[in-house]
Amino acid sequence: MQAYPFFTWRHVFKLDPDREISEETLDAVCTSGTDAVLVGGSSGVTFDNTVELMSRIRRYEVDCALEVSGSEAAAPGFDYYFIPMVLNTSQIDWLSGKQTAALREYGPFIPWETTAAEGYIILNPDAEAARLTGAQTGLDERTVLAHALMADKLMRLPIVYLEYSGRFGDMDLVCKVGSELSGARLFYGGGIDGADKARQAAEAAHTVVVGNVVYDNLEAALQTVRAVKDTFCLLPSKTN
Ligand code: 1GP
């Protein structure tokens, strides 16, 4: 497996182009010491609001990546592009249909060296992404592990993303999934509302994604950066 630069990321803030963010908050996020800012959302993401947020983040040195949830919002200028492929849905459009349609249209323009697929396993039934993609969230542990193995060992995706957006997940399960991966980096996101949960997630996953709390409680959001960075990850390293 290629060692992507983002394999060193421990902490990531995810910002939604469809949500207002003040200059002060954005400044605090971008200078917080986080490893990257990931731009993405489940609805209301357009080319215009994506470019607007990117150009504001671009004033800072922090790495900036776009999670491409629809080809209409794919804008040039990001450091990295992450393409979600939802593994636990029976709607093939969300696994590979939309991605194939986008490749058909834009294939020659894609910066492959900075583009990577994320194998998404969405586990919170109340998350907007779960509803949108028809994700089958009521999975037992063996099935979640099977999805992760599919992504890591068969599809050789560089990222497995356990997505609990809006709810804190089962860290034992997260850790078990992480322990089974041999090539992929495990991203965890969902319900991190401060330092304590950030530490728990940082033990169980390689990369911790923090979203909503930026908008709800900036101080608590900022505390997650140090909490993650000071926590030893129990999983094997994926930086080499
Ligand atoms: C959302 O995984 C991220 O895609 C983060 O989740 O917004 O719940 O922090 P939260």
Q: Is the CB of 204 under 6 A from ligand 1?
A: no
- Quickly list DSSP for 181-199: -SSSEEEEES---SHHHHH
Q: What is the pLDDT of residues 217-228, one digit of tens each?
A: 999 999 999 999
Q: How far is the CA of 237 from the centre of ligand 1 (A)?
A: 23
Q: What is the pLDDT of residues 54-77, one digit of tens each?
A: 999 999 999 999 999 888 889 999
Closest approach atom of ligand 1 to CA 166 = 8
Q: Which of 133, 164, 188 to mutate to test the pocket of ligand 1 (most atoms within 8 A of CB)?
A: 164
The secondary element (H helix, E strand) that includes residue 48 is helix 47-57
Averaged confidence pLDDT in the chain? 96
Q: Is the CB of 189 under 6 A from ligand 1?
A: yes
**What span, in angstroms and rounded, lies between the C-alpha atoms of 92 and 174?**
25
Q: Which residue's C-alpha comes closest to atom 1 of ligand 1?
A: 165
Global model pTM greater than 0.95 = yes
Q: Sign of torsion, CA 114 96 173 219?
A: positive
CATH architecture of the region 5-229 = Alpha-Beta Barrel (3.20)
* Residue 23 amino acid letter: E
CA 224 to chain centre: 16
Domain locations in the chain? 5-229
